[in-house]
Amino acid sequence: MKKFLSFIYLLFPQLLLAQADGAGTEHNLRAGDELSREVVTFCGSETNGRDVVWDLQGMEVLDNDYLTCYTGADVAPWLVAAHEGLASRQYLSTADGISLLGRSTPTSQMTYDIPEQLMRLPLCYGDNITGIYGGAGSYGDKLFVREYGNYRSRVDGTGSMLLPDGDTLRHVCLLTTDRMVWAETALADSMQMVYGDSIPAYGEDSIRRHMATDVPLQRVREQRWYAAGYRYPILETLESRSATDDRLITKYALYYSPAEQERQLAYDEENETIRTLIARGEYHPEGLGHDTRSGSCEDADPVIDYTLEQNAEARTVTIRYSLESSATVRCVLADSKGVVYRTAEQTNAAGTGYTLTLSYNGLPRGQYVVYISAGGLTQAVKFSAK
């Protein structure tokens, strides 16, 4: 079963999308964008630290038939989906950061009850985020799949990059993510017989308990290089190995040409302005190459404490919550494939007794997810509509 699960994971590896150093939105995911990329050879570009020169001039192109399209929801502009062929990933992107909500292919789907926070904004050299994530989904019509693990993301490199065409990009930063992956499978029919339509999710305590006793499946390292003036990474690499015997499972490098980003993307005022400032020698990003914070973002406590109550007769769900500090609370009602049906948000000061209600009246029977976001962290609660 473990070998089969490794095969499943190869079919739809998570492709982390992240943001570079800075407090602006110049690296946010943007609905409507389409961007091609090339599969390239690894070229010894993994060096980190300050004032690094990453040399891509020896890089060779292996394949150039890759296109990513980004779409958004009009009712919830903070939700963005990335599509690559028939596969997609769903993200929640706010001024606080980006979280991965789910992913799907024609034969599989995964919804994260505890989404992985891909980044917290703003980021600068030395920042690091650690946490756990967990979710459940299916493979084909037969298997129930549960995935969980822990991760650490850090901005651990700054410098410049020598491009294959001989040009040099300055103000480049490197974001590195290390992830340990655990997974379980069971027959979907068996889970249905035991739990019906309400299969319990693993909470943080359950995930930590399983990680302490179970054998992990994989360890993954992902790296992305972002350059000031370009919305998407210039280079990204992924290496996945078996956690038990260090066997290489998959390894690839992808190149997003700066020239193609300028040509393919719609007018991008933020990044064009930055490129103009760099050309004039007037660009001075805060935090690039410097530790500007007094601490890291490790295991940050959520600002919200909530419960979700379902009223099956009225076909509503109510989030009752309290806040440790002032925050905007965003709630999204979606199905397991990421289709958004309802959204709502409130901004309140620290306090208790707050409520927010979403109606699912008129929606078909099935499984739904409420994503609750506050203070840069996103959590998810599943429920069944009958």
Summarize the confidence of residues 289-318 as an average pLDDT.
71
**For residue 311, what pLDDT is reported?**
94
For the stretch 86-137, pLDDT in tens is 999 998 877 667 788 899 999 999 989 888 988 776 667 888 889 999 999 9
**For residue 337, what pLDDT is reported?**
66
Closest CA to 59 of 75, 74, 45, 73: 45
Q: Give the pLDDT band (50/70/90) at residue 289.
A: very low
Supply 366's token pair: 């099935």
Using CA atoms, how far apart are residues 40 and 43, in angstroms rounded to an integer?
9
Sheet with 304-311, edge to edge strand ranges: 304-311, 316-323, 351-359
**For residue 293, what pLDDT is reported?**
45
Task: Measure Cα distances from 247 to 16, 171, 217, 220 in Å.
Answer: 22, 35, 11, 12
**Which H or E run contains 70?**
strand 61-73
Q: Give the pLDDT band (50/70/90) at residue 223.
A: very high
For the stretch 239-251, pLDDT in tens is 999 999 999 999 9
Q: Are 118 and 99 in contact (CB under 8 A)?
A: yes
* Residue 211 pLDDT exceeds 90: yes
For the stretch 15-45, pLDDT in tens is 333 333 334 578 888 899 999 999 999 765 5
**For residue 295, what pLDDT is reported?**
40
Other CB atoms within 10 A of residue 65 CB: 8
Supply 349's token pair: 């000061």
Residue 165: strand, helix, or coil:
coil
Of the CA atoms within 13 Å of residue 216, those in its CB half-sphere come to 21
Q: Give the pLDDT band (50/70/90) at residue 301.
A: low
Task: Measure Cα distances from 8 to 86, 103, 172 in Å.
Answer: 16, 13, 34
Other CB atoms within 10 A of residue 121 CB: 21
- Interstrand relation of 377-385 and 248-255 (parallel, antiparallel or unpaired): unpaired
Supply 156's token pair: 């651990």
**For residue 66, what pLDDT is reported?**
83
- Interstrand relation of 168-187 and 143-162 (parallel, antiparallel or unpaired): antiparallel
Sheet with 327-335, edge to edge strand ranges: 340-348, 327-335, 366-374, 377-385
Closest CA to 333 of 302, 352, 310, 314: 310
* Residue 10 pLDDT exceeds 80: no
Judged by average pLDDT, the poorest of 10-19, 199-208, 327-336 is: 10-19
Q: What is the mean pLDDT of the chain?
A: 84
* Residue 302 pLDDT exceeds 80: no
**For residue 299, what pLDDT is reported?**
46
**For residue 378, what pLDDT is reported?**
76
Query: Regarding predicted confidence, which is higher, 51 or 11?
Result: 51
Domains along the chain with CATH numbers = 2-297 (no CATH), 301-385 (2.60.40.3080)
Using CA atoms, how far apart are residues 55 and 64, in angstroms rounded to an integer?
20
**For residue 136, what pLDDT is reported?**
92
**For residue 15, what pLDDT is reported?**
33
Judged by average pLDDT, the poorest of 187-201, 232-246, 371-385 is: 371-385
**For residue 192, what pLDDT is reported?**
84
**For residue 131, what pLDDT is reported?**
92
Closest CA to 358 of 307, 310, 313: 310
Summarize the confidence of residues 159-186 as an average pLDDT.
93
Summarize the confidence of residues 366-372 as an average pLDDT.
86
**For residue 292, what pLDDT is reported?**
42
Judged by average pLDDT, the poorest of 63-67, 81-85, 320-324, 342-346 is: 63-67
The percentage of residues in the chain with a pLDDT greater than 70, rounded to a whole number, is 85
pTM > 0.95? no
**Residue bearing tokens 């660009």:** 283
Closest CA to 265 of 61, 100, 16, 70: 70
